[in-house]
Chains A and B, each alone.
Chain A
Amino acid sequence: NAGVTQTPKFRVLKTGQSMTLLCAQDMNHEYMYWYRQDPGMGLRLIHYSVGEGTTAKGEVPDGYNVSRLKKQNFLLGLESAAPSQTSVYFCASKELNQETQYFGPGTRLLVL
Chain B
Amino acid sequence: AQSVAQPEDQVNVAEGNPLTVKCTYSVSGNPYLFWYVQYPNRGLQFLLKYITGDNLVKGSYGFEAEFNKSQTSFHLKKPSALVSDSALYFCAVKYGGSQGNLIFGKGTKLSVKP
Measured CB to CB, the residues of A under 8 A from B are: 4, 31, 33, 40-45, 48, 50, 58, 90, 92, 94, 99-106
Contacts and interface: CB of A to CB of B under 8 A. Distances in A.
A75 B86 CA distance: 32
Among A94, A101, A102, residue most surrounded by chain B Cβ atoms (within 10 Å): A101
Contacts of B34: 99-100
Nearest to B42: A105
Task: Determine the interface band of chain B, counting residues with CB < 8 A from chain A.
Answer: 20 to 34
Given A103-B44, A105-B42, A31 B106 contact: no
Contacts of A92: 44
Contacts of A94: 100
Contacts of B9: 40
Closest 8 CB pairs of A and B: A103-B43, A42-B104, A103-B44, A43-B104, A42-B106, A105-B43, A100-B46, A104-B43
B99 A50 contact: yes
Contacts of A31: 99-100
B90 A103 contact: no
Interface of B: 9, 32, 34, 36, 41-46, 49, 51, 90, 94, 99-102, 104-107
14 contacts: A33-B101, A40-B9, A40-B106, A42-B90, A42-B106, A43-B44, A45-B101, A90-B44, A94-B100, A99-B34, A100-B49, A103-B44, A106-B41, A106-B42
Most buried by B among A42, A90, A94: A42
